[in-house]
Amino acid sequence: MTALPPQPRDGRSGELAANLAAVRARIAAAAQAAGRDPAEVTIIAVSKTMPATDVLAVASLGITDVGENRDQEAGPKFLQCRDAGLRWHFVGQLQRNKAASVARYADVVHSVDRAELVTALDRGAQRCDRHIGVCLQVDLAGGSQPGRGGAPIGQVLGLAELVAGTQNLELLGVMAVAPLGGQPERAFAQLRAISELLVSQHPQATTISAGMSADLEPAIAAGATHVRIGSALFGGRHRSEGNLIQIPATPHAAG
């Protein structure tokens, strides 16, 4: 029996194509406003809670990078999509005991924020003979928003040294989520300054992973090289008693 690739539901591909076109238009406008080339900005399609069929659909629309935030969901989805040639980004809070599992499929982990994760990811990567890119997640809320992850700013350079000294991890740059209720412009400017400091010591670590559906414009203005886009591409999501329910996309207001 030959297995056909799973297909998305009727109309879904068109919906995703329209959403992607809108996201690309926002990125182009933000890049132009900042005097940047939109080609410098990679979209990571954050497909958490969405089915593998959606991942394959956006891959066929030209998406090359996808992001997930939970190992239990990402592992099986990776297996379902493994022939699509995608780069897999792990963007969520990571527990040390999940690091070895994530190391089996992630190409880049964006949420490295403490020494024990560096060690556990490197060991996991060595075990499956893989090399994994690492972004250091920075806490821009100064510890006032626990549970969202990120290293204190003062620990970033030390963690960078640790990553640089591993066998199978490659230091790519920094990542942050703008603090809730703050001004994303200020947060991303701070991230940019941390990035410049990091690059002065690790010249290849130029990635700035910043910007989500609601704040990709200020992130691009501050130099983001990777934006992590979920709801603007796939539509809204919520979790209910462990079931994943998809709710229809609402057109995202530009700007």
Ligand X SMILES: *Cc1c(COP(=O)(O)O)cnc(C)c1O
- Smallest gap, in angstroms, from Cβ of residue 128 to ligand X? 24
CA atoms within 13 A on the CB side of 235: 18
- Smallest gap, in angstroms, from Cβ of residue 206 to ligand X? 19
Query: Which DSSP symbol is given to 151?
Result: B
Helix spans in 133-252 (H): 156-164, 184-201, 216-221, 231-234
User: Residue number with the shortest CB distance to ligand X?
Assistant: 230
228 residue type, one letter: R
Instruction: Name the residue nearer to ligand X (CB basis): 7 or 95.
Output: 95
Element (H, E) at 74: helix 71-80
**Other Cβ atoms closer than 10 A to 94:** 26
DSSP state letters, 224-240: -SEEEESHHHH--EEEE
Q: Does residue 63 interact with ligand X by CB under 6 A?
A: no
Q: Does residue 140 interact with ligand X by CB under 6 A?
A: no
Looking at 8, 51, 92, 150, which residue binds ligand X (CB under 6 A)? 92
8 Å CB contact between 166 and 123: no
149 residue type, one letter: G
Cross-strand pairs, 136: 112, 174
Looking at 177, 187, 221, 224, which residue binds ligand X (CB under 6 A)? 177
Looking at 231, 235, 249, 252, which residue binds ligand X (CB under 6 A)? 231
Q: Does residue 48 interact with ligand X by CB under 6 A?
A: yes
Q: Does residue 225 interact with ligand X by CB under 6 A?
A: no
Q: Give the interface segment with ligand X, choosing from 160-168, 179-187, 190-198, 211-219 (CB under 6 A).
A: 211-219
- Smallest gap, in angstroms, from Cβ of residue 230 to ligand X? 3
Q: Which residues bind ligand X (CB under 6 A)?
A: 46, 48, 69, 91-92, 177, 212-214, 228-232
